[in-house]
Amino acid sequence: MKKAVSIILLVLLIDQISKIYIKTNFLYGEEVVVFNWFRIHFIENNGMAWGAEFGGKAGKLFLTIFRLFAITGIGYWLFKSIKNNAPNLLIVAVSLIFAGALGNIIDSVFYGIIFNTPHNATATLFASQPYGKLFFGKVVDMLYFPIWSGNLPSWIPFYGGKPFTFFNAIFNVADTAISTGVGILIVFNKKVFKK
């Protein structure tokens, strides 16, 4: 239990500190080039991968409520895994997934009521006029790894000759934790799922 709680708290701390720092110090869309293949690029989305949206406000509310149910299920899975003395790798993986999901839920549930989003200025934490309502916050993303950009060879069907960037997703620490946890479950599935 101590290991799981430590992982969850560490991921949440790094995730929320990085998001709050970016939101209060970067203009929307601002980018800092660390290396050609790694940049800090501030964007926000309504909570789906690659900024996808569905159903407007009702869809956003549904997504947030679904996430709350999902995190409850993941928390139960983690609790049962610890109680049943599951392999440490499984506990680490589920802890990472739980922490990442919780990190993004914090954005979705609370950021709309604690931040403002002024034009051409950085956001204010605990603003007197926040940008949204409870459950309607936007998820902050900032990690961008455009490892390769260019035009694809013309012989590639459908996409040939078109501009392409690998890897074009912009994500955050919570997303990284979820992806790492899922990766551990996939790569080490025989060790984590012995039965």
Tens of each residue's pLDDT in the chain, 195 residues: 899 999 999 999 999 999 999 999 999 999 999 998 999 999 998 866 655 666 677 888 888 888 899 999 999 999 999 999 999 999 999 999 999 999 999 999 999 999 998 888 999 999 999 999 999 999 999 999 999 888 888 898 888 888 888 888 899 999 999 999 999 999 999 888 876
What's the CA gap between 73 and 63, in Å, rounded?
Answer: 15
Q: Active site includes 175?
A: yes
From first CA to last CA, the distance across the chain in angstroms is 22
For 165, phi and psi rounded to 5 degrees?
-125, 130
Tell me which of 15, 44, 107, 175 is the catalytic residue.
175
The answer to whether the bond into 167 is cis (omega within 30° of 0) is yes
SS3 37: coil
Strand arrangement of the beta sheet that strand 38-45 belongs to: 31-35, 38-45, 139-144, 170-171
The H or E element spanning position 19 is: helix 2-25
Catalytic, out of 23, 44, 141, 171: 141
Token pair in block for residue 122 = 């950085």
pTM confidence score: 0.89
